[in-house]
Amino acid sequence: MNRQHHLRRFLPLILGMAVLLPGRVSPRPATTTSLANQETPVVHHARKASSPIVLDGILDEPAWDSALQFDLEYEVQPGENITPPVRTICMVTYTDRFIYFGFRAFDPDPSRIRARYSDRDTAWGDDWVGVVLDTFNDQRRAYEMFSTPLGVQIDAINDDVGGNYDDSWNAIWKSAGRITEEGYEVEMAIPFNQLRFQKVDGEQTWGFDALRSYPRTDRHHIGLFPRDRGNNSYLSQTVKLVGMEGANPGRNLEIIPTLTGSRSDTRTNLPEGTLEKGDTEGELGVSLRWGLTPNMSLNGAYNPDFSQVEADILQLGVNEQFALFFPETRPFFLEGADYFNTDLRLVHTRSIADPDSAVKLTAKQGRGTWGIFSADDAITNILVPGPEGSTSGSFGSSTLSSVGRYRYDFGANSTIGGMVTDRRGDGYANTVISADTVYRFTSADMVKASFALAATEYNDEMVTALGVDEDPLQDSAIALEYNHGVRNWWVNSRYEDFGKGFRSDLGFRPRVGYQSLRVSGARVWWGEKGDFFRRSAWGGAAFRSKQQSGDLLDQGVQSWFNFQGPRQSFVSVVGTISTRGFSGQEFDLWNAGASFNMQATADISLGLSAEIGDSIDFTNVQPAEETQLRPFIRYHLGRHLNLQYTHIFSALDVEGGRLFRVHAPELRVVHQFDTRTFIRAIFQYTDIWRDPSLYTATTVDERTRTLLTQLLFSYKVNPQTALYAGYTDNQLGNDEFDLTRTDRTFFLKLGYAWVR
């Protein structure tokens, strides 16, 4: 496909963006109407604090008596805008530097309040209260900040346009709570320098919701306003909070120096070789966040610690066609990450493995949102996608990775935008130019469209190691989606077209070279008080995908049923009949799957997912039968100890017998001393048994075992001021030797957030 053809495909969208981009746009006024209806939304006026507030979880300061107060009058789940089972009062006030929220959460039996000490962003199963702040009042993006009765914090970014909910984002704010004879009380103080908002003269106008989660037999979600279940936008329904006049983020400067130390011991010759002691390495780094204005932020990092403190969740790579996805957890890349989210997932920053330095600038001005970042990476990780599988490689050469993104808001909560990603090093380059839109033309109808054009050139080392084409590649990608959803039913259709030569090396795209169409829909039933179910749905789908050459990848039909019941239970059953193409053959497949989870008691949650049916042995290219089981159980023992056990069982049978069997248990034990301090142990074990006589395409060991052990001590004053000390140990065993330690690492990380 030539360049002129690509240009013709992009020209209408480019012209549309040129027409829509404004010269200057004023902030959205308080009288903006929502998609749910054309009525003026409810407006609440916050008042400035009349006295200082001491954050101790006791609502006894005079400022709370004069603060804006309102009751949370609607249970929105599982009941539909009904009177909630408990009363909740929310209070709002502010100073020049902070916005304060106070909650009185009444409870008829305070002994049943679920409040455990835990790390931040992990207390979703507890009682909690909090707020949703659409600080630009644009119905597209909001901060969510919650606190448990013990002051354990949860915070997240709600990307209402992209449908992304990111609780890996962390801000520096304060919370305190206490359990009382009547329920519990919580105080929250959020500095303005942790929020982005439009710089205006006079009062701010924010979209606002206050929430309470009340988990008992059901988990009751209680809010400030009634929700329309047929509306495809939550933020378009929020009330308006007016006030915050003179909100001052101060210098809005965070400087975070870090000190890291580590020692890695490695056994180079298995199993007889000795475990060679590595050098102790220490490194100083610094990260910076500077709020140039309330709506513009500059982030930089020099010689930063980008190590993964968190162990990745256990996943199996046995008989998998494509690369596995692992989420980003590094603070620098999480800041403002939602600014770069698109439907094609063109930016996935874990592709930047070991940056020496990085810089990022993000801003929202009027209806325009934009961001740029660049990172100098000492390692180049390459994912080579294809229609039937993906391969990868890692190279020691450095690359410079850069991204530029602009998005324009139009209508009530629709967007149109463009992005450029560029990654280049010695003889290697990958550039992607893209455009996208999310258009909500009614509260029930939404269209998404994304277009991208990529150009890639590999160097000689990559050509040899990966077996890729030495000639430059150029190709395109298209994704179109339409969704119509109302209260009791929905339909969706999605079309994708990824050229064989399309590469997005800064993103995560393990499959290219195909065209696909999927059409699906479902009927939804809502339970009423006294019904066994809270919500149930029955639906179906038809799908077809093929390679660009015309060869079939898969086609078939699918049907599913699910329901939500008592004790926060969820049951789902799905069946699929399909024909799947692989390596020049076609396989007729039948599959069934089911999943179940519930809150068995206040302290125990458990679940099981299972899949059985036909499959493909991708290694030997033959039909197979697959069985997978994934049980889990979580147990809170008192307020301090949390145990979680998961287990993956997978087996593949072929004509000659069982090809392989996998057991992969994982145990996580966390003792949380208080809201700041914990000790955690993780044990991940895999045991893979194979029948070598059934492998005709390759030679394999009969048995392979691995064991990962990680011990971690953590003390956090806030997300950035923290001390980590840990130990990681990896062991390997196969036909020739038992489990033997291959390497071990001792590490220490100390970070301090200097905030002004």
302 against 573, higher pLDDT: 573
Q: Which has the minimum average pLDDT: 388-397, 447-456, 579-588? A: 388-397
What pLDDT shows up at residue 315?
61
CB atoms within 10 A of CB 51: 12
pLDDT score of 17 more than 60: no
Question: Looking at the domain assignment, is residue 65 inside a domain?
Answer: yes
What pLDDT shows up at residue 283?
87
Buried b (16+ CB within 10 A) or exposed e, 645-674: bbbbbbbbbbeeeebbbbebbbebebebee
Q: Which has the minimum average pLDDT: 45-59, 103-117, 283-297? A: 283-297
What pLDDT shows up at residue 350?
85
Instruction: Say how far apart CA 112 and CA 105 lie, in whole Å.
Output: 13
Phi-psi region at 738: left, alpha or beta (left = phi > 0; alpha = psi -120 to 50) = beta
What pLDDT shows up at residue 314?
59
Instruction: Say how far apart CA 373 and CA 43 lie, in whole Å.
Output: 37
Q: How many residues does the chain have?
A: 756
Q: What proportion of the chain, given as a percentage, has pLDDT over 90? A: 73
pLDDT score of 238 more than 50: yes
399: Cβ contacts below 8 Å, ≥ 6 apart: 376, 377, 380, 423, 424, 425, 428
The average pLDDT across 594-623 equals: 95
Burial of 120 (0-12, 13-18, 19+ CB in 10 A): middle
Looking at the structure of the chain, the number of domains it has is: 1
CB atoms within 10 A of CB 560: 18
Both structure tokens of 66:
């004069």
What HEC string does 73-110 produce? CEEEECCCCECCCCCEEEEEEECCCEEEEEEEEECCCH
| Location of structure tokens 């019904």 | 531
Instruction: Say how far apart CA 142 and CA 131 lie, in whole Å.
Output: 10
Burial of 280 (0-12, 13-18, 19+ CB in 10 A): exposed
Classify strands 153-159 and 219-223 as parallel, antiparallel or unpaired: unpaired
> Are 539 and 560 contacting, i.e. CB atoms less than 8 angstroms apart?
yes
> Are 64 and 50 contacting, i.e. CB atoms less than 8 angstroms apart?
no
Instruction: Say how far apart CA 321 and CA 647 lie, in whole Å.
Output: 22
The average pLDDT across 19-24 equals: 34
What pLDDT shows up at residue 143?
96
What pLDDT shows up at residue 32?
35
Three-point CA angle 434, 437, 442, nearest 5°: 170
Q: Which has the minimum average pLDDT: 26-35, 63-72, 139-148, 220-229? A: 26-35
Question: Looking at the domain assignment, is residue 306 inside a domain?
Answer: no
pLDDT score of 36 more than 50: no
Give the C-alpha distances (Å, rounded to integers) separating 408 from 7, 367, 748.
Answer: 22, 6, 43
- Bridge partners (DSSP) listed for residue 255: 288, 754
pLDDT score of 247 more than 50: yes
684 against 164, higher pLDDT: 684
Q: Which long-range contacts (CB under 8 A, 24 or more apart) does 702-707 make?
A: 702/735, 703/733, 703/734, 703/735, 704/732, 704/733, 704/734, 705/731, 705/732, 705/733, 705/734, 705/739, 706/730, 706/731, 706/732, 706/733, 707/683, 707/731, 707/739
Question: Looking at the domain assignment, is residue 80 inside a domain?
Answer: yes
With H, G, I as helix, E, B as strand and everything else as coil, classify residue 149.
Answer: coil
Give the C-alpha distances (Å, rounded to integers) separating 714 from 72, 152, 155, 292.
Answer: 36, 15, 19, 32
Question: Looking at the domain assignment, is residue 633 inside a domain?
Answer: no
Q: How confident is the model at residue 2 (pLDDT cuts 50, 70, 90)?
A: very low
With H, G, I as helix, E, B as strand and everything else as coil, classify residue 467.
Answer: coil
Q: How confident is the model at residue 10 (pLDDT cuts 50, 70, 90)?
A: very low
Instruction: Say how far apart CA 502 and CA 505 lie, in whole Å.
Output: 10
Question: Looking at the domain assignment, is residue 328 inside a domain?
Answer: no
Q: How confident is the model at residue 229 (pLDDT cuts 50, 70, 90)?
A: very high
> Are 478 and 450 contacting, i.e. CB atoms less than 8 angstroms apart?
yes
Both structure tokens of 91:
């209070």
6 against 475, higher pLDDT: 475
pLDDT score of 91 more than 60: yes
> Are 514 and 547 contacting, i.e. CB atoms less than 8 angstroms apart?
yes
Question: Looking at the domain assignment, is residue 471 inside a domain?
Answer: no
Question: Looking at the domain assignment, is residue 414 inside a domain?
Answer: no
pLDDT score of 37 more than 70: no
Burial of 387 (0-12, 13-18, 19+ CB in 10 A): buried
End-to-end Cα separation, the chain, in angstroms: 54
Instruction: Say how far apart CA 646 and CA 290 lie, in whole Å.
Output: 42
Element (H, E) at 407: strand 399-410
Q: How confident is the model at residue 755 (pLDDT cuts 50, 70, 90)?
A: confident
* 350, amino acid identity: R
pLDDT digits (tens, 9 = 90+) for 362-415: 998 889 999 999 999 988 999 899 999 888 888 989 999 999 999 999 988 899
pLDDT score of 342 more than 60: yes
The average pLDDT across 137-150 equals: 95
715: Cβ contacts below 8 Å, ≥ 6 apart: 676, 677, 722, 723
Instruction: Say how far apart CA 531 and CA 540 lie, in whole Å.
Output: 25
State the average pLDDT for the chain. 89
> Are 196 and 189 contacting, i.e. CB atoms less than 8 angstroms apart?
no
Q: Residue 700 phi/psi, 5° resolution?
A: -135, 155
The average pLDDT across 590-611 equals: 96
- Bridge partners (DSSP) listed for residue 518: 494, 543
Nearest to 653 by CA among 628, 685, 686, 687: 628
Nearest to 343 by CA among 205, 448, 189, 188: 448
With H, G, I as helix, E, B as strand and everything else as coil, classify residue 19.
Answer: helix
Three-point CA angle 393, 396, 397, nearest 5°: 105
Question: Looking at the domain assignment, is residue 412 inside a domain?
Answer: no
CATH of the domain at 185: 2.60.40.1190
CB atoms within 10 A of CB 55: 17
What pLDDT shows up at residue 310?
57
> Are 247 and 44 contacting, i.e. CB atoms less than 8 angstroms apart?
no
Please give the distance of CA 427 from its chain centroid, rounded to a whole number. Answer: 34
Both structure tokens of 470:
């030495």
Q: Which has the minimum average pLDDT: 174-188, 248-262, 358-372? A: 248-262
- Bridge partners (DSSP) listed for residue 609: 595, 630
Rounded-to-5 percentages of helix, strand, coil across the chain: 5, 55, 40
pLDDT digits (tens, 9 = 90+) for 409-437: 998 889 999 999 999 999 999 999 999 99
What pLDDT shows up at residue 584?
92
What pLDDT shows up at residue 251?
74
pLDDT score of 33 more than 90: no
337 against 586, higher pLDDT: 586
Three-point CA angle 723, 684, 167, nearest 5°: 50
Classify strands 473-485 and 445-457 as parallel, antiparallel or unpaired: antiparallel
pLDDT score of 288 more than 60: yes
pLDDT digits (tens, 9 = 90+) for 615-666: 999 999 999 999 999 999 999 999 999 999 999 999 999 999 999 999 999 9
pLDDT score of 28 more than 60: no
Burial of 125 (0-12, 13-18, 19+ CB in 10 A): buried
Both structure tokens of 162:
């992209």
Classify strands 88-94 and 47-48 as parallel, antiparallel or unpaired: parallel
Instruction: Say how far apart CA 345 and CA 448 lie, in whole Å.
Output: 14
Containing domain of residue 78, as a range?
31-243
